[in-house]
């Protein structure tokens, strides 16, 4: 289904509710520059770091698109667990897993309080930015603590620049991208307002510092387009 969520006047802040979940795959493909590429690179580094009988968590798995792709190319026996706290997203995820006849566990859970088992890989694409800054680093510490030695955390985020001029231009560049994806100026501005104080992005440096502060020995960018980046952190 096509994303038309912001064609009408908004009445509330952005939420991962039924209206958003119903069009979410289209929304992401049209709102995240090189979304498919960032998925592919996430899949590649997941497979590289997954051992026999290993475990992968996808935090904020939404409709399970990424886990389904990972499952398709699995070469080892592994457990895939997706966590999300939106019932509407999980309903879409379950529908897709069932349609593909795939055994992926998707659970309704708060990623901040969930008790993680030891895992090879953690993924969290475009989700940390929705976690309150006050507790974001705590979550990354929890992830690092649950990873095996040399395990990896792959995460993607919208990023800001601390150079005011560059930041303004990055935002303009991104809005140009959204226009090429068929979003009107009105939809872009409505969504911008709805995301205010809900999506709180860090800079590339702040994300790397957060990972290094949280028990990771190394963190770098795997892919970046203007204000969107995919990171890998190694325990």
Ligand X SMILES: O=C(O)C(=O)C[C@]1(C(=O)O)C=C[C@@H](O)C=C1
Ligand Y SMILES: C[S@@+](CC[C@H](N)C(=O)[O-])C[C@H]1O[C@@H](n2cnc3c(N)ncnc32)[C@H](O)[C@@H]1O
Q: Which residues are annotated as a binding site for S-adenosyl-L-methionine?
A: 35, 60-62, 84-85, 110-111, 125, 192
User: What is the torsional sign of CA 26, 80, 86, 208?
Assistant: negative
User: Binding of ligand Y at residue 82 (CB under 6 A)?
Assistant: no
Q: Which of 62, 207, 227, 230 binds ligand Y (CB under 6 A)?
A: 62
Closest listed residue to residue 191, CA positions, set 203, 179, 202, 180: 179
45-to-17, 38, 128, 223, 229 alpha-carbon distances in Å: 31, 11, 19, 12, 15
Residue 40 or 162: the one with the smaller Cβ distance to ligand Y is 40
User: Binding of ligand X at residue 93 (CB under 6 A)?
Assistant: no
Residue 32 or 232: the one with the smaller Cβ distance to ligand X is 32
User: Binding of ligand Y at residue 211 (CB under 6 A)?
Assistant: no
Long-range contacts of 11-15 (CB under 8 A, 24+ apart): 12/194, 13/194, 13/195, 13/196, 13/197, 13/198, 14/191, 14/194, 14/195, 14/198, 14/199
Binding mask 97-126 for ligand Y (x = CB under 6 A): -------------xxx------------xx
Q: d(Cα 27, Cα 1) in Å, to the nearest integer? A: 9
CA angle (87 as vertex; 47, 184 as ends), nearest 5: 85
DSSP 218: E
Residue 113 or 180: the one with the smaller Cβ distance to ligand Y is 113
Residue 66 binding partner per list ligand X, ligand Y, none, with a CB distance cut-off of 5 to 8 Å that depends on partner kind: ligand Y
Q: How far is the CB of 103 from ligand X (least distance, A)?
A: 26
Residue 84 binding partner per list ligand Y, ligand X, none, with a CB distance cut-off of 5 to 8 Å that depends on partner kind: ligand Y
Q: E-assigned strands of the chain? A: 54-59, 78-84, 105-108, 119-125, 147-160, 202-203, 218-225, 228-234
Q: Which of 32, 90, 232, 233 binds ligand X (CB under 6 A)?
A: 32
Q: Which of 31, 39, 49, 190 binds ligand X (CB under 6 A)?
A: 31
User: Binding of ligand Y at residue 70 (CB under 6 A)?
Assistant: no
Binding-site residue numbers are 35, 60-62, 84-85, 110-111, 125, 192
Closest listed residue to residue 139, CA positions, set 233, 64, 25: 233
Q: Which residues bind ligand Y (CB under 6 A)?
A: 16, 28, 60-62, 65-66, 83-86, 89, 110-112, 125-127, 130
Q: Which residues bind ligand X (CB under 6 A)?
A: 27-28, 31-32, 126, 158, 191, 195, 199
């Amino acid at each position: 289904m096509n994303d038309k969520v912001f064609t009408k006047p908004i009445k509330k802040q952005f939420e991962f509710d039924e209206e958003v979940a119903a069009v979410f795959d289209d929304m992401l493909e049209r709102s995240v520059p090189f979304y498919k590429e960032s998925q592919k690179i996430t899949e590649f580094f997941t497979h590289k770091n997954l051992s026999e009988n290993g475990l992968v968590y996808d935090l904020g798995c939404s409709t399970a698109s990424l886990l389904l792709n990972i499952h398709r190319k699995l070469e080892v026996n592994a457990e895939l667990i997706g966590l999300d706290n939106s019932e509407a997203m999980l309903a879409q995820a379950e529908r897709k897993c069932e349609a593909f006849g795939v055994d992926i566990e998707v659970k309704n859970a708060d990623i901040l309080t969930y008790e993680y088992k030891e895992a090879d890989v953690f993924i969290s694409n475009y989700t940390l930015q929705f976690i309150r800054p006050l507790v974001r680093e705590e979550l990354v510490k929890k992830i690092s603590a649950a990873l095996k030695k040399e395990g990896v955390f792959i995460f993607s985020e919208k990023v800001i620049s601390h150079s005011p001029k560059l930041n303004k231009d990055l935002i303009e560049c991104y809005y140009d991208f959204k226009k090429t994806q068929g979003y009107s100026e009105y939809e872009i501005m409505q969504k911008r307002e709805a995301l205010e104080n809900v999506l709180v992005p860090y800079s590339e440096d702040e994300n790397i510092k957060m990972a290094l502060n949280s028990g990771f020995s190394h963190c770098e960018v795997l892919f970046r387009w203007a204000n969107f980046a995919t990171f890998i952190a190694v325990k």
